[in-house]
Chains A and B, each alone.
Chain A
Amino acid sequence: QSALTQPASVSGSPGQSITISCTESSSDVGSYNLVSWYQQHPGKAPKLMIFEVNNRPSGVSNRFSGSKSGNTASLTISGLQTEDEADYYCCSYAGNTTVLFGGGTKLTVL
């Protein structure tokens, strides 16, 4: 069965840059450029940060960027700020009319 694998946690200091990876186990999943990224603060609803691999919705800071190489998508946050501390989830269309979420990555801003 297809899966999206993310690191459980990443950390960085204010002002630094970090990257969160999202690896697709199935080549079928990887063939779609329908990767999105969501930020979720504790007790809150997820918020769309990146869609179609590298597009930012209106209102999202340009410190957030996305990319993809092969079966691995990445979210990069530059100029880390304390308010970036949250859980981040990647998401992708998995074919066969199903949707996959990654397991989530907890970002700690030290």
Chain B
Amino acid sequence: QVQLVESGGGVVQPGRSLRLSCTASAFNFRSFGMHWVRQAPGKGLEWVAVIWYDGSKKYYADSVKGRFTISRDNSKNTLFLEMNSLRAEDTAVYFCARESTVLTTFDYWGQGTLVTVSS
């Protein structure tokens, strides 16, 4: 069955960097757009970024634009999120999600990885 497994979360100081990974299995990874969605503790879902199936296009939420970079390695079925200049408000569980054949519809989600930005 389709599986998405995030890793790389942890505690990081404000202003530092962190790289998240999402490893996919049981589907043709290179054929699907992929997204990152985050959820601050006790809060709702917030869309973060999307990358086209071939990596040719990338788009970001205004809250992370210029600080976060989404990328993928289709040869390794892996999605990445490079997070720089981290702020306390970036503290959240970060989910990777597969975009279905319908634009901005997320049919599979990972279990999430927690990022805590604190001194």
What residues of chain A have their CB less than 8 Å away from a CB belonging to chain B? Answer: 34, 36, 38, 40, 44-48, 51-52, 57, 87, 89, 91-93, 97-104
B35 part of interface (Cβ distance < 8 Å): yes
User: CA of A6 to CA of B102 in the docked complex: distance in angstroms?
Assistant: 23
Chain B count of residues within 8 A CB distance of the other chain: 23
Contact residues, B72-119 vs A (CB, 8 A): 95, 97, 100, 102-107, 109-112
Number of A-B pairs, beta carbon distance below 8 Å? 66
Other A-B pairs beyond A87-B44, A91-B104, A97-B57, 16, CB < 8 Å: A34-B102, A38-B106, A45-B109, A46-B45, A47-B109, A51-B105, A52-B102, A57-B107, A91-B105, A97-B59, A98-B59, A98-B61, A99-B47, A99-B50, A100-B47, A104-B44
User: CA of A52 to CA of B50 in the docked complex: distance in angstroms?
Assistant: 19
User: CA of A87 to CA of B111 in the docked complex: distance in angstroms?
Assistant: 16
Contacts of A38 in B (CB 8 A): 45, 106
| Chain A residue at minimal CB-CB distance from B110 | A45
What's the nearest-Cβ distance from chain B to residue A109, in Å? Answer: 20
What's the nearest-Cβ distance from chain A to residue B94, in Å? Answer: 11
| Chain B residue at minimal CB-CB distance from A97 | B59
B54 part of interface (Cβ distance < 8 Å): no
Q: Is the CB of A104 within 8 A of B105?
A: no
User: CA of A22 to CA of B61 in the docked complex: distance in angstroms?
Assistant: 21
What residues of chain B have their CB less than 8 Å away from a CB belonging to chain A? Answer: 35, 37, 44-47, 50, 57, 59, 61, 95, 97, 100, 102-107, 109-112
Q: Is the CB of A52 within 8 A of B105?
A: yes
Contact of A45 among B44, B59, B102, B111 (CB under 8 A): B111
Q: Is the CB of A34 within 8 A of B105?
A: yes
User: CA of A51 to CA of B106 in the docked complex: distance in angstroms?
Assistant: 9
What's the nearest-Cβ distance from chain B to residue A41, in Å? Answer: 12
User: CA of A46 to CA of B61 in the docked complex: distance in angstroms?
Assistant: 19
What's the nearest-Cβ distance from chain B to residue A106, in Å? Answer: 10
Contact of B50 among A45, A91, A97 (CB under 8 A): A97
What's the nearest-Cβ distance from chain A to residue B36, in Å? Answer: 11
Q: List 28 A-B residue pairs with CB atoms under 8 Å apart, sorted by A's residue number.
A: A34-B102, A34-B105, A36-B102, A36-B106, A38-B45, A40-B45, A44-B111, A45-B109, A45-B111, A46-B95, A46-B97, A46-B109, A48-B100, A48-B105, A48-B106, A51-B102, A51-B105, A52-B105, A57-B107, A87-B44, A91-B45, A93-B104, A97-B59, A99-B50, A100-B47, A101-B37, A101-B45, A102-B44
